[in-house]
Amino acid sequence: MSPDGSLSAERLQELRRMAIRLRRHVVESVHHAGAGHLGGPMSAAEILVALYFEVMHVDPAAPRAPGRDRFILSKGHSSIGLYAALALRGYFPEEELQTFDALDSRLQGHPDMAVLPGIDMSSGSLGQGLSPGIGMALAARLQQQTYHTWVLIGDGDSQEGQIWEAAFIAARYGLGNLTCILDWNDLQQWGWATAAGYDSDERLPPQESPVARWQAFGWCTIEVDGHDLEQLVAACARARATTAAPTIIIARTVKGKGISYMEGDYSWHSRPVTEEDLRVARAELAAQEEAL
Partner 1 sequence: MANLSVSDSLVAQRDVFGNTLVELIDSDPRTYVLDADLANSTKADIVARKRPDHFLEMGIAEQNMMGVAAGMASCGLVPWLSSFAVFLVNRDLDQLRVVVAQPKLNVKIGSAYTGILTGMTGKTHQEVSDIAIMRAMPNLTVLAPADGIETRLAMLAAQDWEGPVYIRLTRDPHPSIFGADHNFEIGKAYIVREGSDVTIMSTGVQTVRALQAADVLAAEGISAHVLHVPSIKPIDTAAIIAAAQKTGRVVTAEDHTIVGGLGGAIAEILGEHAPTLMRRVGIRDVYGESAPNAELLEKYGLTPAHVALAARQLLD
State how beta strands 178-184 and 247-252 pair.
Answer: parallel
The beta-strand segments (E) located in 54-173 are 70-73, 149-154
Q: Tally the C-alpha atoms within 13 A of residue 24's C-alpha that lie toward its C-beta.
A: 19
Q: Which helix (H) or strand (E) holds 30?
A: helix 9-33
Closest distance to partner 1 from the beta carbon of 65 (Å):
12
Q: Which of 150/268 has CB closer to partner 1?
A: 150
Q: Which of 7/163 has CB closer to partner 1?
A: 163
Q: Which of 139/280 has CB closer to partner 1?
A: 139
Residues of this chain that bind partner 1 (CB under 8 A): 66, 112-114, 120-125, 128-140, 142-143, 149, 161-162, 165-166, 168-169, 172
Closest distance to partner 1 from the beta carbon of 240 (Å):
18
How many other C-beta atoms can be found within 10 angstroms of the C-beta atom of residue 13?
13
Closest distance to partner 1 from the beta carbon of 55 (Å):
20
Q: Which of 72/281 has CB closer to partner 1?
A: 72
Residue 57 backbone phi and psi in degrees, to 5:
-90, 90
Nearest C-alpha neighbor of 73 from the set 65, 58, 63, 83: 83
Q: Residue 288: exposed, middle, or buried by beta-carbon count in 10 A (0-12, 13-18, 19+)?
A: middle
> What amino acid is encoded at 175 in this protein?
L
Closest distance to partner 1 from the beta carbon of 283 (Å):
39
DSSP 280: H
Q: Which of 166/187 has CB closer to partner 1?
A: 166
> What 3-state DSSP class applies to 222?
strand
Closest distance to partner 1 from the beta carbon of 160 (Å):
9
> What amino acid is encoded at 180 in this protein?
C
Closest distance to partner 1 from the beta carbon of 244 (Å):
19
Q: Which of 43/128 has CB closer to partner 1?
A: 128
Closest distance to partner 1 from the beta carbon of 78 (Å):
16
> What amino acid is encoded at 109 in this protein?
G
Whether 193 and 219 have beta carbons less than 8 Å apart is answered as no
Q: Which of 121/281 has CB closer to partner 1?
A: 121
Q: Which helix (H) or strand (E) holds 139?
A: helix 130-142
